[in-house]
Chain A
């Protein structure tokens, strides 16, 4: 039952898509039918997988760096009172400037390789990770901190043994958002300038009016993003078992 309904929805969309393309007789270079997309995807599987591998590497590296930077910033802000007023503006500015606007600059600085894409993905997830984790660190149950204080705990011990574990569920929410938006950063980077990756391949096929191949790349990207999201979600659920799970449908 758990997989039946999503599968039905997905299959239903494919059927509607196929029927719509047939009935309205849409030109294949505007909207190719699902069958031709799947055919192209199978025929060019190795090319697509090669590009997918590069995009995947960009996304995962971006997630790694973004999470590390975000977690560090949040910890510094939570531990050092003075750091808050210095870091908060940086945090807000990092979100206020659209990554799309930064993409050309990053390509200019770091070239056409993997680096500017990783930087884009890092930038795009830095804010959600930092904001969520910092929020979690700030909202520690005050009773726990009081208790620790009467037990003679140091500030560092309170942070390590109480505030950080208590903030992990919030951190996990930030990571979930990060997992969902990291592919955007990577693909935008590829669009602006690159020689490999699914975004590059989509632009290339777009230019050659091979719309079916473009859709196939999009398809692979979507599957990849969904897999990354659910893998991270499953890992977090397994690691953070005390997280209150309000929605009984997801228990």
Chain B
């Protein structure tokens, strides 16, 4: 059976974000945010709370209207509508449905017949086959987020938007789920909002630090080596400091940081 990571055959489209404005109609916090999310990689958005990162994701997902002028499209110049899966900080599992039914939610909502064999396969790959019939209330936070991951994979969308998907988990579970998500989403274009510099360094091929205020704009970082990285690697220390500098506004806006390749 063809499973998500072989589903696309060809490369997934990247995501081009051009001149997006973050904030509200009445108060623009960040202007002209542009970046590319490369296909088959993770692009991490870091930044202080309230700068509009989540709104940016919601805009790309088509949940809120873009403030005029913002443009986003697939790198194949086609609109992204219908090619996006969305994963939020809360697992958003429906408490009255079993894990299996939650994974099959998309098909149920579209009135299609869910592919139960594929649901079982995805539950196995996310390591929760034994909880297939459990209700969310009977599962731990880690198990619930695994179900949410399986539900995201079930949609087979090439672009996956994640809004702090692991932030509510304890450190060990978080690392496990990062590994799992990275493995299972390796053929997708992932854009993830996070508050955790280590998470960004672990997963991100590109890291964009978005900030509002007087130095509004963003700083792009391309940490050395390939993801998954070990965030305690001494090689990443400079990148970590660069992130912290950017977050605390000590680094110039719209600059780029590239580690010297070693």
Contacts and interface: CB of A to CB of B under 8 A. Distances in A.
B88 interface: yes
Contact of A151 (B94, B109, B135): B109
B163 to A, nearest CB: 10
A151 B110 contact: yes
B70 interface: no
B52 to A, nearest CB: 16
Number of chain A interface residues as a range: 20 to 34
Given A143-B90, A143-B92, A165-B94, A148 B137 contact: no
A235 B105 CA distance: 27
A82 interface: no
A218 interface: no
A172 B152 CA distance: 32
Contact of A147 (B82, B88, B135, B137): B88
Contacts of A141: 92
Interface stretch (A7-15, A100-108, A153-161, A188-196): A153-161
A148 B88 contact: no
Interface string A124-148: 0000000000000000010110111
A168 to B, nearest CB: 8
A85 interface: no
Interface string B166-200: 00000000000000000000000000000000000
Contacts of A166: 94
B106 A152 contact: yes
Interface residues of B, number: 23
Interface centre among B62, B88, B95 (most CB of A within 10 A): B95
A143 to B, nearest CB: 5
Given A150-B62, A150-B84, A144 B94 contact: yes
Contact of B110 (A147, A152, A241): A152
Contact of B86 (A150, A154, A242): A150
A118 to B, nearest CB: 33
B63 A150 contact: yes
Contact of A150 (B85, B90, B94, B137): B85
B47 to A, nearest CB: 21
Interface string B47-74: 0000000000010011100000000000
Interface of B: 58, 61-63, 82, 84-86, 88, 90, 92, 94-96, 105-106, 108-111, 135, 137, 155
Interface of A: 141, 143-144, 146-154, 157-158, 161-162, 165-166, 241-242
Given A146-B86, A151-B155, A241-B135, 18 more contacts: A146-B58, A146-B88, A150-B84, A150-B85, A151-B106, A152-B106, A152-B109, A154-B109, A154-B110, A157-B109, A157-B110, A158-B109, A161-B108, A162-B94, A165-B94, A165-B96, A166-B94, A242-B95
